[in-house]
């Protein structure tokens, strides 16, 4: 039986693993994809302290994993498919095994929100993408569109101008939510055309994306935009399907914790983007992970396990 099993290998998970392993707890982190979570899709990070020069998300992810492993944390590449959390001995079911642990730290993070318009599902992976840094290079010399108005949408649009001659930025309001510095960069980039007050009604194409239909929400007029790629950047939703009905969630589906990352179940903690909080960033995910691991250690000690 493990002392701590951590579900999810983003910055929250790897920081929890570092703190737990360094406290000499028998620690296992389970990650279903590549290490780093959303951070691994970020091509440049400028706001993680300690790096005066920008660092890439994948680079920071590798460093976090290496650091956690150095103290003995084990990393398993598998998907957690079920959890029994209400027992003293927590049960973690993966696609290959059933594992047991004294404590569980839920760090499954979040995933991109979908548009929900016709054509999106059908053309996913054939021109519809949720990660400009992962897929941008495939669109070299093509016209693309980014949907959204926050930091991620602005960053994506700027990043795509490296490869694409023209990038439409489609936003449903008449001003961007992105931080001022990013807005300035967008407005001063000749390759970016912002399509204000508009929503995507349909993405069309037979095998690959050929264009999109957008509607102006103020005039109700629709127009077609020729684009071979659509990058959706309209926010995220928490990965809480696994724990629905098992731990307390808020209306938006985020896990409710107290300040010590404790969920409503003893011995079960949540850290990072998956929990209800005001700022979802790498630094706050890392901070949550450290607190959760510390609390898991205290729980084990207090229960004289």
Ligand X SMILES: Cc1cc2nc3c(=O)[nH]c(=O)nc-3n(C[C@H](O)[C@H](O)[C@H](O)COP(=O)(O)OP(=O)(O)OC[C@H]3O[C@@H](n4cnc5c(N)ncnc54)[C@H](O)[C@@H]3O)c2cc1C
Residues labelled as active-site residues: 131, 134-135
Binding flag, residue 47, ligand X (CB under 6 A): yes
The angle at the Cα of 250, spanning 247 to 256, to the nearest 5 degrees, equals 55
Kindly give, in sequence order, each residue whose CB lies less than 8 Å from that of residue 269, ignoring residues fewer than 6 positions away.
103, 104, 105, 106, 257, 260, 261, 262, 263, 292, 295, 296
**Four-residue CA torsion sign, 97, 103, 105, 106:** positive
Residue with tokens 């929400």, as numbered in its chain = 217
CB of 257 vs ligand X, minimal distance in Å: 12
Binding flag, residue 282, ligand X (CB under 6 A): yes
CB of 135 vs ligand X, minimal distance in Å: 12
Binding flag, residue 103, ligand X (CB under 6 A): no
Binding flag, residue 110, ligand X (CB under 6 A): yes
Q: Which stretch binds ligand X (CB under 6 A): 63-71, 102-110, 165-173, 220-228?
A: 102-110
* Among candidate residues 284, 274, 252, the one with its CA nearest the CA of residue 104: 274
CA–CA separation, 232 and 22 (whole Å): 39
Site for ligand X in 58-87 (CB under 6 A): 79-80
CB of 29 vs ligand X, minimal distance in Å: 9
Binding flag, residue 28, ligand X (CB under 6 A): no
Binding flag, residue 107, ligand X (CB under 6 A): yes
Binding flag, residue 195, ligand X (CB under 6 A): no
CA–CA separation, 247 and 255 (whole Å): 7
Binding flag, residue 119, ligand X (CB under 6 A): no
Looking from the CA of 154 toward its CB, the CA atoms found within 13 Å total 18
Q: Which is nearer to ligand X, 211 or 262 (CB)?
A: 262
Looking from the CA of 221 toward its CB, the CA atoms found within 13 Å total 6
Q: Which of 27, 42, 198, 240 binds ligand X (CB under 6 A)?
A: 42
* CA-derived radius of gyration, the chain: 21
Binding flag, residue 200, ligand X (CB under 6 A): no
Residue with tokens 């279903």, as numbered in its chain = 32
Binding flag, residue 136, ligand X (CB under 6 A): no
CB of 130 vs ligand X, minimal distance in Å: 8
CA–CA separation, 208 and 203 (whole Å): 10
Q: Which stretch binds ligand X (CB under 6 A): 6-14, 18-26, 98-106, 252-260?
A: 6-14
Q: Which stretch binds ligand X (CB under 6 A): 85-93, 195-203, 258-266, 275-283?
A: 275-283
Binding flag, residue 12, ligand X (CB under 6 A): yes
Q: Which is nearer to ligand X, 242 or 265 (CB)?
A: 242
Binding flag, residue 272, ligand X (CB under 6 A): yes
CA–CA separation, 234 and 188 (whole Å): 22
Residue with tokens 């992976």, as numbered in its chain = 125
CA–CA separation, 253 and 183 (whole Å): 30
Q: Which stretch binds ligand X (CB under 6 A): 18-26, 193-201, 205-213, 267-275?
A: 267-275
Q: Which residues contact ligand X (rule: CB under 6 A)?
A: 7-13, 30-33, 37-39, 41-42, 45, 47-48, 79-80, 107-110, 152, 239, 242, 272-274, 280-283, 285
């Amino acid at each position: 039986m493990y002392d701590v099993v951590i579900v999810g290998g983003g910055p929250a998970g790897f920081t929890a693993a570092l703190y737990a392993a360094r406290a000499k707890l028998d620690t296992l982190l389970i990650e279903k994809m590549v290490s780093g979570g959303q951070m691994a899709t970020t091509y440049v990070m400028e706001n993680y302290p300690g790096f005066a020069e920008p660092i890439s998300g994948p680079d920071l992810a590798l460093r976090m994993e290496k650091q956690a492993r150095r103290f003995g944390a084990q990393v398993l590449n598998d998907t957690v498919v079920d959890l029994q959390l209400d027992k003293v001995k927590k049960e973690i079911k993966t696609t290959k095994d059933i594992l047991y642990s004294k404590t569980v730290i839920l760090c499954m993070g979040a995933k991109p929100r979908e548009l929900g318009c016709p054509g999106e599902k059908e053309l996913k992976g054939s021109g519809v993408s949720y990660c400009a840094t992962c897929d941008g290079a495939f669109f070299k010399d093509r016209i693309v569109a980014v949907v959204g108005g926050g930091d991620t949408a602005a960053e994506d649009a700027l990043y795509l101008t490296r490869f694409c001659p023209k990038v439409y930025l489609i936003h449903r309001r008449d001003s961007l939510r992105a931080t001022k510095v990013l807005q300035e960069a967008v407005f001063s980039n000749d390759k970016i055309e912002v399509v204000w007050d508009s929503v995507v009604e349909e993405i069309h194409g037979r095998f690959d994306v050929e264009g999109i239909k957008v509607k102006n929400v103020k005039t109700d007029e629709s127009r077609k935009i020729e684009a071979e790629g659509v990058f959706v950047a309209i926010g995220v939703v928490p990965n809480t399907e696994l724990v629905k009905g098992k731990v307390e969630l808020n209306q938006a589906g985020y896990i409710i914790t107290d300040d010590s990352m404790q969920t409503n179940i003893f011995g079960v903690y949540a850290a990072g983007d998956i929990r209800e909080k005001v700022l979802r960033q790498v630094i706050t995910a890392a901070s949550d992970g450290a607190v959760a691991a510390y609390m898991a250690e205290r729980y084990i000690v207090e229960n004289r396990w």
